[in-house]
Structure 1
Amino acid sequence: MIYFPYFRGRQFDLQALKAIAQDQTLPANIIPIIEPVRDIKALPQTIAAFLAHNHPLVVITNPTVSDYGLTQQKLHDWTSWQHHPQLILGHVLTPTTTAADLMAPAGQRTLLIARQYDELTAAQHAHWLTTTQPDYLLVPPEARIRQLLDRPQISLYDHAWFPDKDQTYANLTDGFFSDDWQLAALRGYQGFSDYTIGGSHYSEHGYPARAVTLHVTYFVHDQLRIHRFVSDDRADFKHPKEKFFQAVAKLAAWLPAQPEQTQTPALQQLAAYHDQHHFPGLGVVKRLSLMHHLELMARYFRDHYPENS
């Protein structure tokens, strides 16, 4: 079983991944996917951190969000690592994809992401899946796609929930998040992929929120759930520092009663800001939340899916 957590290459995503790589947290069968979205120094630094520790990593060669893919002259280029044996070259299938786009040097592993049924059908009719033979094929969990393909797949899910304009995360503070590994095993897939707690939606500049919310995944037996610690003050967009303290106080009260599996280093660091009465900034909060999710999944995989399985 392989898990491909999918990240857009924003600053806090890359900071989380780089720290995880340097700590050598992940087993070899958890392979992050990075879709570059910004020309920032953290991108090549993160890639270098994974490859320096000989851990596999996927980088999307044709990013489809933001304008990164349209920038001809990159200040922080990562392609000097594109022939590294642990780097997996990813490609998102689009209407402009050609067979040449899917070719890779001999011995280089590849990953193909097919988000649309029609584009996958066209690629199959052109025999691209047999001529280029990507090592991994990520597809949405649709029955018609499963019927179309006769090879093992990677299921690509988006489990993030975003409240509409009349709701906040306080309307659903706890709920089911995922049991994708069980469905993957049932259907004979190679593994599964998701957009972690961040979701597939991408916004270049983000958007303001009335509440500060800490998104924390945790296991109940073999079910992954998510708990949202929401600030009580949700009247306006002001005072993020005070709202953070309201939210982290709830986390600090909840965490000691949780099993050891849930008490990851990242989550303990986040909860410690309550006693320290320190506001690290919302970027650090997002980084630690993502690190916790990866640390949690690493613990689960080591217990249930050894690397050589």
Structure 2
Amino acid sequence: MIYFPYFRGRQYDLLALKNIAQQHALPPNIIPIIEPVRDIRALPQTVAAFVEHDQPLVVIANPTVSDYALTQQKLYDWRSYADNPNLIVGHILTPTIIPEDLQATPDHQTLLVARQYDELLAASHAGWLDAPTHLLVPPEARIRRLLTRPSGSLFDHAWLPEHDRSYADITDGFFSEDWQQARLDGYTSISDYTIGGAHYSEHGYPARAVTLHLTYFAGDQLRIHRFVSDDREDFRHPKEKFFQAVAKLAAWLPAQPAAVQTPAALALADYHVTQHFPGLGVVKRLSLEHHLQTMATYFKTTILTKSQQNF
């Protein structure tokens, strides 16, 4: 079972991935996907970190969000690493793709992300779906009936509150158990948009509350705990709201199992002790690092052990 965590290439997403690569924290069956959204230095630096530490990574060659794909002259291009065997070139299935883009070789893997049934059906009729090494599709019954090759599921588990609701309405809840369902549905890999979700906004948007998101395992079920500031009246005072939220995290974390107390989670809790506000970008980076560290521990132990038992 392979886990493909899917990231949009924002600054702090990339910094989280770069740090994880430098820590050599991921087992070989966790392969992050980056869909570039901005022409920033952190993109090739992150790709270089994975290549230099001999860890696999997917980069989407035809991103479909933001205007990155329309920028003809890239200042910070990642393609100089395209020939490295640790780098898997991925594509999103669109009407403009060509079959040569999908063709894998013994030395270079490829990955295809298919998000629409109609496009997938057309690609199937054209005989394109056997070309890529990995295929990720929405976990829909009509798509499963269409496939004749091993593939993986791509799903968005993140919940975004709407209208007058907030994360304080559901501070703890179910997040994912895709690896369990995958075996029942015949998938050989899984993918999701982690805690960030599939929604992409070029400039972001303000929130009335500061919320810290930590995933954790309860048995084989991945859950998410949200630490929400008490002040949710307006968009002001993010620093004070952060201290309200991180105080709840610091009180909750010591009672959790050692697997939950990752280096990233402990770094977040320490801001309560030092009363230092690192900025919300750093908070996001550490939350993503915690998620990857949590998944790495589970996939190194539980998933690997079950695979060996089945073998």
Q: Which residue of 1 aligns with 2:148?
A: 150
Alignment of 1:21-32 (within 5 A): 21-32=21-32
Matched with 2:117 is: 117
Partner in structure 2 of residue 55 of structure 1 = 55
Cα deviations by residue, 1:157-213 (Å, 9 ceiling, x for unpaired) = 100000001111111111100000001122221110000000000000000000000
Aligned position for 2:192: 194
Which residue among 197, 214, 235 is the counterpart of 1:216?
214
Shift of 1:101: 3.1
Q: How far apart, CA to CA, are the structure 2 residues paired with 1:200 and 1:194?
A: 8
Residue of structure 1 equivalent to 2:98: 98
Equivalent residue number for residue 227 of structure 2: 229
**3-state DSSP class of the match of 1:129?**
coil
Q: Residue 13 of structure 2 corresponds to which residue in structure 1?
A: 13
Query: Within 1, Cα distance between the matches of 2:180 and 2:243?
Result: 37
**In 1, distance between residues paired with 2:11 and 2:34?**
12
Identical aligned pairs, as a percentage? 71
What is the one-letter code of the residue matched to 1:171?
D
Other-structure match for 2:2: 2
Structure 2 residue 244 is the aligned partner of structure 1 residue 240: no
Answer whether contact 2:26 2:293 (CA < 8 A) is retained: yes
Amino acid at match of 2:122: A
* Alpha-carbon distance in 1 for matches of 2:82, 2:72: 17
SS at match of 1:261: coil
Task: Look up the SS of the partner of 2:304 in the other structure.
Answer: coil
| Whole-Å separation in 2 of the counterparts to 1:126 and 1:193 | 25
Q: Aligned partners of 1:174, 1:32: CA distance in 2, in Å? A: 26
1:14-44 Cα offsets, whole Å, 9 max, x none, are 0000000000000010000000000000000
Q: Retained in 1: the 8 A contact 2:30–2:296?
A: yes
The unaligned stretches of length 5 or more in structure 1 are none
1:30-88 residue CA offsets vs partner (Å, 9 max, x unmatched)? 00000000000000000000010110000000000000001000000110100101111
Secondary structure of 1:249's aligned partner: helix
1:66-81 equivalences in 2 (<5 Å) = 66-81=66-81
CA contact (8 A) 2:139 2:155 kept: yes
Q: TM-score, normalised by structure 2?
A: 0.97
What CA distance in whole angstroms lies between the structure 1 residues aligned with 2:102 and 2:67? 21
Tell me by how many angstroms 1:306 deviates.
2.6
The answer to which of 180-189 and 117-126 deviates more is 180-189
**Equivalences for 1:129-278 in 2 at 5 Å?**
129-130=129-130, 133-278=131-276
Deviations 1:82-133, CA, capped at 9 Å, x for gaps: 0101111100001222223323566210000000000000001111123xx2
**Distance in 2 separating the partners of 1:103 and 1:260:** 43
Contact 2:104 2:133 in 1 (8 A): no
Question: In the alignment, what sits opposite 2:33?
Answer: 33
Unaligned runs of 5+ in 2: none
The letter for the 2-side match of 1:45 is Q
Q: Which moved more, 1:186-195 or 1:256-265?
A: 186-195
Aligned length: 307
CA RMSD of aligned residues (A): 1.2
Distance 1:181 1:15 in 2: 27
The Cα of 1:304 is off from its aligned counterpart by 1.4
Contact 2:168 2:228 in 1 (8 A): yes
CA distance in 1, matches of 2:150, 2:203: 37
CA distance in 1, matches of 2:252, 2:303: 28
Rounded Cα–Cα distance in structure 2 between residues aligned with 1:107 and 1:23? 26
Letter in 2 for 1:77: D
The 1-side partners of 2:60 and 2:96 are apart by: 15
Moved over 3 A (4+): 103-106
